[in-house]
């Protein structure tokens, strides 16, 4: 009796490896048809690609405060013999080399706050690196490795060509045990509400992903990068067969921004706000399913307004590609690229198509950032004039206007009174606050009694201070 040595998924993957390279894009998918096909292996594909997946070592120096610092009793007896201590903290993740001159893509949370970042290749060699571009809300970072220009590279594939059921390999360094390869399938697409980032659009896989895999490669059977492994769904800290990867097409536009030398990653601005489509809205509009992005607000004079987009309408597709939810719409607009024009399919009483140019958000009015000082409750607040660009940076609604708190100095009067970043200062003593300059002038009057109205997360809060 014959013995089957591999599972069906692995067998199918191995069979696909035999197809001619030039025919990958058009190759038909098939199940193994013989014992010899069942006994094939992932090994040739792993040998071809694993060298481009690296370990990322991030080290940061933190200061541990002496709990007795400032205590006159202990300072009298111990003086400076009990100073504050510093210690080094290290984190370990993975990364993918995407160009032979040493550009590495990884997750932002892998290198967050790091003072020193080193890259270790699969063969044990280590190199210093620097951060070219990072974005916390997208959880992506691009590093530049020093010293060489002939690194092994993992080519970036087309994540839009990925289908549920496709076979994939995940390569990374889980738990710091060393480079590890796991196999599985794509179990879902366009997943959102996975992380609290800018928007959610993830490839879901059942390939085992664990802590330390972050920043590693999710790869298809053509040996192409289709995603950056980012998150797991787990209550115990280990793999439960649900992992998430940032699609490669988003990685492409982020990498292009890093190669141009951009300091920040700019998102397209269309001047509209969206919410998920509910079953009631879908029924009212005659939609077959509760899918798409419901328009709930349009900025007057913005790109969406000029294109004729109206509140109450539903955007169902971008350039003919269906959008499942508002996060998917944000993803499609971002990956289309700045400077491009996209066609939106819109449903209301009928179906129509509109064109919108994708450009950066305007900074009008100028932010005129100011640090408030003096003997008043607002000392220590850094405020700015709210514009569409600043609202985008702060992840606030695009139509918001006024003076917004962008930072609060630790230990300042403003901090002690509970002010937070993203608070909008609506009025002082009943007078509207139109700009940072006007607010500073109001503080110079110093009436000694302050009646303050702020807007926080859509709620109005009124406070009295002396």
Active site residue 109: yes
From the list 91, 94, 135, 139, the catalytic residue is: 139
Establish whether the linkage from the previous residue to 218 is cis, with ω within 30° of 0.
no
Q: Are 216 and 228 in contact (CB under 8 A)?
A: yes
Residue with tokens 């491009």: 340
How crowded is residue 421: how many other Cβ atoms within 10 Å of its Cβ? 12
How is residue 75 written in tokens? 């300072």
Q: What is the DSSP letter of 153?
A: -
From the list 214, 387, 412, 435, the catalytic residue is: 214
Q: Are 406 and 383 in contact (CB under 8 A)?
A: yes
* Strand (E) or helix (H) holding 244: strand 243-247
- CA 318 – CA 310 distance, rounded (Å): 16
Q: What is the pLDDT of residue 323?
A: 92
Q: Which value, in Å, is the radius of gyration of the alpha carbons in the chain? A: 26
Active site residue 166: no
Q: What is the pLDDT of residue 23?
A: 44
How crowded is residue 428: how many other Cβ atoms within 10 Å of its Cβ? 21
Active site residue 108: no
The SS3 of residue 170 is strand
From the list 91, 94, 109, 387, the catalytic residue is: 109
Q: What is the pLDDT of residue 383?
A: 96
- CA 327 – CA 445 distance, rounded (Å): 46
Q: What is the pLDDT of residue 73?
A: 52
- Among 310, 314, 307, which Cα is nearest to 279's? 314
Q: What is the pLDDT of residue 15?
A: 44
- Ordered per-residue pLDDT tens for the chain, 466 residues: 333 333 444 444 444 444 444 444 445 666 667 777 656 788 888 888 888 999 999 887 766 555 555 556 555 555 555 555 666 667 788 999 999 889 999 999 999 888 889 998 888 888 999 999 999 889 999 999 987 668 899 999 999 999 999 999 999 888 778 888 999 999 989 887 766 655 678 999 988 888 888 899 999 999 999 999 987 765 555 556 688 999 999 999 999 999 999 988 988 999 999 999 999 888 888 888 899 999 999 988 899 999 999 999 999 999 999 999 999 999 999 999 898 999 999 998 888 999 999 999 999 999 999 999 988 889 999 999 999 999 988 888 888 889 999 999 998 999 998 999 999 999 999 999 999 999 999 988 777 788 999 999 889 999 888 7
- Among 171, 141, 132, 166, which Cα is nearest to 251's? 141
- CA 402 – CA 113 distance, rounded (Å): 31
Q: What is the pLDDT of residue 18?
A: 41
């Amino acid at each position: 009796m014959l013995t089957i040595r591999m599972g069906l998924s692995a067998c199918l993957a191995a069979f696909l490896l035999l197809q001619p390279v030039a025919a990958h894009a058009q190759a038909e998918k098939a199940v193994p048809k013989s014992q010899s096909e069942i006994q094939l292996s992932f090994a040739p594909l792993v040998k071809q690609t694993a060298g481009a997946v690296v370990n990322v070592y991030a080290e940061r120096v933190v200061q541990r405060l002496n709990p007795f610092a400032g205590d006159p009793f202990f300072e009298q007896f111990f003086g400076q013999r009990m100073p504050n201590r510093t210690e080094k903290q290290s984190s370990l993740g993975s990364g993918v080399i995407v160009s032979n001159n040493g550009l590495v893509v990884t997750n932002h949370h892998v290198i967050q706050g790091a003072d020193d970042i080193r890259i270790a290749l699969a063969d044990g060699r280590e190199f210093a690196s620097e951060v070219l571009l990072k974005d916390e809300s997208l959880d992506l970072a691009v590093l530049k490795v020093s010293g060489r220009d002939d690194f092994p590279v993992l080519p970036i594939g087309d994540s839009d060509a990925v289908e549920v059921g496709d076979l994939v390999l995940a390569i990374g360094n889980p738990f710091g045990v060393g480079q590890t390869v796991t196999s599985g399938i794509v179990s879902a697409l366009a997943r959102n509400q996975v992380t609290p980032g800018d928007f959610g659009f993830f490839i879901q896989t059942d390939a085992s992903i664990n802590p330390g895999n972050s920043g590693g490669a999710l790869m298809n059977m053509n040996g192409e990068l289709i995603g950056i492994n980012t998150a797991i769904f787990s209550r115990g800290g280990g793999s439960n067969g649900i992992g998430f990867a940032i699609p490669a097409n988003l990685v492409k536009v982020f990498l292009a921004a890093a190669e141009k030398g951009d300091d920040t990653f700019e998102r397209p601005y269309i001047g509209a706000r969206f919410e998920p489509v509910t079953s009631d809205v879908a029924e009212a509009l005659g939609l077959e399913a509760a899918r798409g992005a419901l328009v709930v607000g349009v900025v007057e004079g913005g790109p969406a307004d000029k294109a004729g987009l109206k509140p109450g309408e539903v955007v169902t597709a971008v350039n003919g590609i269906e959008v499942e939810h508002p996060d998917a719409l944000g993803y499609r607009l971002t990956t289309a690229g700045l400077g491009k024009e996209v066609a939106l399919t819109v449903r209301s009483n009928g179906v129509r198509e509109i064109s919108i140019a994708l450009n950066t958000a305007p900074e009008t009015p100028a932010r005129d950032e100011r640090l408030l000082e003096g003997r008043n409750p607002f000392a220590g607040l850094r405020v700015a004039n709210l514009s569409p660009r600043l609202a985008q940076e702060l992840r606030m609604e695009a139509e918001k206007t006024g003076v917004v708190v962008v930072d609060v100095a630790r230990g300042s009067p403003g901090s002690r009174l509970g002010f937070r970043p993203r608070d909008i200062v609506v009025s002082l003593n009943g007078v509207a606050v139109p700009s940072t300059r006007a607010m500073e002038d109001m503080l110079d009057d110093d009436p000694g009694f302050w009646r303050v109205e702020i807007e926080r997360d859509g709620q109005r809060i009124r406070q009295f201070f002396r």
